[in-house]
């Protein structure tokens, strides 16, 4: 099996239609978030296996927010 990471915007229309038929009421409950290696972004994605290919479909991305603990003296 092949593994592909694809943006939803660049997904072929046949795969988009299959995704819509697999999740007619939406796929929000099946999404997860992961951090892109080497980048300061967090992506929201869903996994789908179709036609011998495992797709990791990136739905949305946002910048990674870092909280810094500051000393009282700083």
Q: Is residue 27 very low, low, confident or very high in pLDDT (cuts 50, 70, 90)? A: confident
Full DSSP string of the chain: -EEEEEEGGGS-HHHHHHHHHH-TT-SGGG-EEEEPTTSSEEEEEEEEEETTEEEEEEEEEEEPP------TT-
- Choose between 70 and 43: higher pLDDT: 43
- pLDDT at 72 (0 to 100): 55
- pLDDT at 28 (0 to 100): 87
């Amino acid at each position: 099996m092949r593994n592909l990471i694809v943006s939803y915007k660049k997904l072929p229309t046949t795969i988009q239609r299959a995704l819509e038929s697999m999740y007619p009421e939406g796929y929000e409950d099946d999404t997860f978030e992961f951090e892109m290696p080497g980048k300061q972004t967090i992506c929201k994605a869903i996994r789908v296996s179709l036609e011998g290919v495992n797709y990791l479909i990136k739905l949305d991305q946002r910048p990674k927010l870092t909280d810094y603990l500051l000393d009282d003296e700083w």
